[in-house]
């Protein structure tokens, strides 16, 4: 018994990926805070949101209020509602089923009708100027699964920090493969990130999983990849939920560089066991009991990469995990310096409390790295806490 | 023989009263009573649905509620966005055919429903039936 305990303890030490004696030269400091005064229809935990550098002259934050078919734009300057874009009321073909949004500018808003496998581009007159079809002409929905029959088809999705961006004459867009996440096949896909040519309408699957993740099953909670793009130097950065490394790629997703990017105390996430695949409670526990990497952000002002990791959830109720507030975890934020060969230069831990929670919904602006904070007893306010590495 | 019959009758009585007692203590009925602020009616069927259940699943139910094509009473718990639901189902809420659990009573009593359920009395007791 004693031997077993000691063995487990030693194994635990070895499975921990922490670099002993790691020196972190700088620290994050909170330098600013934004407060949005939400109207009665905007929930602080809307699923679809976006930071917008310039909306009619103001720095803004947008929410898609599903059910109302409206986009609400709030000023980051004074927290007030700037405008409500009522696309459902003004465009009869978009009155339901829209999920993700991407605002390119006032005259170009992309709206994703996921289950139709279509992304619409509307202008400020609410006219549909382009319909992007992500289900091939010969493909059809399998009535048994509800998914397209072709395994090449993917569902366009870019909520939860996944990726959508117009780069040149292409759209780069995250995709969820039409393969059940509890199978090995799901981790051989190349449709995690895809390009769509606005000229030719050609769709090219580009990004798959690192070799070390292939051949195992990671499930629906560790199958995500988060990405950002640096337009000045034309490279992407990618953070996989179950991989401690960060990858820098070109537009064709060739890896240019990769580096270790995990916090002190990080423990490698094991792939799913048969028990976890077959038992939904065990699957949820695997999700909650392990470190989970999250979003990644390129900071063009300071040449830094920020990466989020959520620590194991110490206090959760399985039946409440669908609610972003209830499933919020303590979070570690790391900064890596591109000028120092992506060395880690700062790390901080943000704890949830009885007063409020931090959420992995972040953006970079001139002021710094901004992280969403929700007060638990005030659903009419939403905060962004701004941090700088000093 | 008489003893056996008596024992069988006694057993049946005990089983019946046990079933009745367990129904009264059933967390679904406790939840319904908390939301309705009165015991559920045996002549009424109730639908309980989470606003976090899958979109097509809940939308099929919301559509029936919106069309007023159902005589059921609805309870929506785990609200994503209370104001949007209040706005959409304003009339139905006034008619007391829909209750929104905005006080999160379900969390307080530990009642959860990841799939929509229909609760009704079938003559022998209350039945919880999952809606596909």
The CA distance from A342 to A325, in Å, is: 32
Q: What is the pLDDT of residue A337?
A: 98
**E strand or H helix that includes residue A62:** strand A58-65
| Residues B39 and B33 sit within 8 Å (Cβ to Cβ) | yes
Q: What is the pLDDT of residue A4?
A: 46
Instruction: Please check the confidence at residue B25 and state whether its pLDDT lies above 70.
Output: no
pLDDT band at B9 (very low <50, low <70, confident <90, very high): very low
How close B66 gets to chain A, by Cα (Å)?
13
**Record: contact A68-B84, CB cut-off 8 A:** yes
CA distances from A171 to A88, A104, A209, A254 (A): 24, 11, 21, 18
The CA distance from A206 to A118, in Å, is: 19
Task: Using alpha carbons, select from A228, A72, A100 the residue that is nearest to residue A165.
Answer: A228
Q: What is the pLDDT of residue A41?
A: 96
A-chain residues near B115 (CB < 8 A): none
| Residues B80 and A43 sit within 8 Å (Cβ to Cβ) | yes
The CA distance from A217 to A222, in Å, is: 9
| Helix (H) and strand (E) counts in chain A | 4, 25
* Candidates B84, B85, B88, B90, partner chain A, best to mutate (most A CBs within 10 A): B84
Mean pLDDT, each 10-residue run in order, chain A (390 residues) = 45 47 88 97 96 97 96 98 98 95 98 96 98 89 83 92 97 94 93 97 96 96 97 97 98 98 96 94 95 98 98 91 93 98 97 96 98 94 98
Q: CB within 8 A of A224, min separation 6: which ones?
A: A160, A161, A162, A240, A241
Chain A positions touching chain B (beta carbons under 8 Å): 40-41, 43, 45-46, 65-68, 115, 317, 319-320, 322-323
Query: What average pLDDT does the structure give for chain B?
Result: 84
A225-230 and A235-240 as β-strands: parallel, antiparallel, unpaired?
antiparallel
3-state secondary structure of A87: helix
* Candidates B31, B80, B106, partner chain A, best to mutate (most A CBs within 10 A): B80
Instruction: Please check the confidence at residue B128 and state whether its pLDDT lies above 60.
Output: yes
Locate the chain A residue with the closest alpha carbon to B115. A319
| Residues A259 and A246 sit within 8 Å (Cβ to Cβ) | yes
* Candidates A42, A323, A376, A379, partner chain B, best to mutate (most B CBs within 10 A): A323
The CA distance from A262 to A76, in Å, is: 31
3-state secondary structure of B35: helix
Q: What is the pLDDT of residue B24?
A: 54
**Record: contact B81-A43, CB cut-off 8 A:** yes
How close B93 gets to chain A, by Cα (Å)?
17
3-state secondary structure of A272: coil
For B59-85, b/e burial (b = at least 16 CB within 10 A) is eebbeebeeeeeebbbbbbbbbbbbbb
ipTM of the complex: 0.80
How close B110 gets to chain A, by Cα (Å)?
9
Residue A302 backbone phi and psi in degrees, to 5: -120, 0
**Which pLDDT tens digit goes with each residue over B45-65?**
999 999 998 888 899 999 999
Tokens 């003004």 correspond to what residue?
A90
């Amino acid at each position: 018994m004693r031997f077993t305990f000691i063995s487990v303890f030693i194994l635990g030490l070895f499975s921990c990926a922490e670099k002993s004696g790691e020196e972190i030269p700088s620290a994050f400091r909170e330098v600013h805070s934004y407060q949005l005064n939400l109207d009665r229809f905007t929930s602080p935990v809307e699923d679809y949101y976006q930071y917008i550098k310039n909306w009619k002259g103001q720095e803004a934050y947008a929410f898609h209020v599903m059910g109302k078919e409206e986009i609400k734009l709030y000023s980051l300057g004074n927290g007030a509602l700037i405008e409500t874009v009522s696309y459902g009321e003004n465009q009869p073909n978009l009155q339901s089923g829209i999920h993700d949004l991407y605002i390119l500018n006032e005259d170009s808003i992309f709206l994703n009708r996921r289950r139709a496998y279509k992304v619409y581009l509307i202008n400020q007159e609410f006219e549909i100027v382009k319909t992007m079809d992500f289900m091939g002409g010969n493909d059809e929905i399998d009535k048994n699964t509800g998914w397209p029959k072709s395994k090449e088809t993917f569902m366009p999705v870019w909520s939860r920090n996944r990726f959508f961006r117009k780069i040149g004459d292409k759209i780069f867009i995250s995709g969820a493969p039409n393969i059940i996440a509890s199978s090995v096949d799901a981790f051989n896909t190349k449709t995690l990130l895809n390009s769509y040519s606005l000229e030719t309408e050609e769709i090219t699957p580009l990004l798959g999983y690192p070799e070390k993740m292939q051949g195992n099953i990671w499930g629906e909670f560790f199958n995500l990849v988060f990405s950002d793009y640096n337009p000045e130097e034309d490279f992407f950065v990618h953070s996989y939920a179950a991989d401690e490394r960060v990858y820098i790629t070109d537009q064709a997703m060739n890896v240019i560089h990769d580096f270790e990017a995990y916090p002190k105390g990080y423990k490698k996430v094991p792939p799913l066991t048969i028990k976890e695949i077959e038992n939904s409670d065990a699957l949820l526990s695997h999700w909650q009991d392990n470190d989970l990497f999250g979003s990644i952000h390129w900071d063009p002002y300071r040449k830094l990469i920020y990466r989020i990791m959520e620590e194991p959830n110490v206090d959760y109720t399985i039946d409440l995990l669908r609610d972003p507030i209830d499933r919020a975890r303590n979070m570690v934020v790391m900064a890596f310096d591109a000028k120092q060969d992506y060395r880690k230069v700062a790390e901080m831990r943000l704890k949830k409390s009885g007063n409020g929670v931090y959420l992995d919904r972040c953006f970079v602006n001139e002021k710094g790295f901004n992280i969403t904070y929700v007060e638990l007893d005030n659903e009419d306010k939403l905060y962004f806490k701004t941090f700088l590495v000093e | 023989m008489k003893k056996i019959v008596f024992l069988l009758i006694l057993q049946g009585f005990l089983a019946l009263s046990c079933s009745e007692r367990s129904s009264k203590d059933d967390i679904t009925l406790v939840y319904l009573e908390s939301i309705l602020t009165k015991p559920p009616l045996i002549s009424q069927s109730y639908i309980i649905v989470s606003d976090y259940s899958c979109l097509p699943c809940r939308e099929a139910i919301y559509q029936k509620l919106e069309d007023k094509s159902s005589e059921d009473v609805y309870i929506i718990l785990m609200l994503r966005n209370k104001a949007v639901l209040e706005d959409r189902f304003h009339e139905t809420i006034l008619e007391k055919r829909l209750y929104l659990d905005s006080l999160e009573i379900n969390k307080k009593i530990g009642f959860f429903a990841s799939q929509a359920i229909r609760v009704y009395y079938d003559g022998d007791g209350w039945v919880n039936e999952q809606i596909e």
